[in-house]
Chain A
Amino acid sequence: MLSGDLLVEARQRAGISQADLGRRSRVAPSLIGRYERYEVIPTFERLRHLISACGLELSFRLAAADASRHDEVLIERELQRTPAERLRRGLEAGRAFRSLAGPERGGG
Chain B
Amino acid sequence: MRSAPSPGPSVAEADPLEILRTLERHGVRYVLIGAAAARVAGAPVVTEDVDVTPAADAVNLERLAAALRDLGARLRSAGEPEGASFSIEAEMLRTAGMWTLTTRAGDLDLCFAPSGTRGYDDLRRGASRLLVGKSLNVAVASLRDVIRSKEAAGRAKDLAQLPLLRRTLEQIRKSERE
Which residues of chain A have a CB within 8 Å of any CB of chain B?
1-2, 4-5, 8-9, 12-13, 15, 38, 71-72, 74-79, 81-84, 86-91, 93-95, 97-99, 104-105, 107
Contacts and interface: CB of A to CB of B under 8 A. Distances in A.
B116 A13 contact: yes
A105 B79 CA distance: 12
Contacts of B102: 105
A8 B49 CA distance: 28
A13 B148 contact: yes
B131 A94 contact: no
Which of B8, B39, B171 has its CB near the most chain A CB atoms (within 10 A)? B39
B173 A90 contact: no
A22 to B, nearest CB: 20
Contacts of B12: 95, 99
Contacts of B49: 94
B169 A12 contact: no
A29 B141 CA distance: 26
Contact of A75 (B14, B40, B118, B168): B168
Contacts of A97: 46, 48
Given A83-B130, A105-B8, A94 B173 contact: no
A83 B140 contact: yes
13 contacts: A1-B170, A13-B148, A72-B167, A75-B43, A78-B44, A83-B132, A84-B136, A87-B17, A90-B35, A91-B16, A91-B47, A97-B46, A104-B81
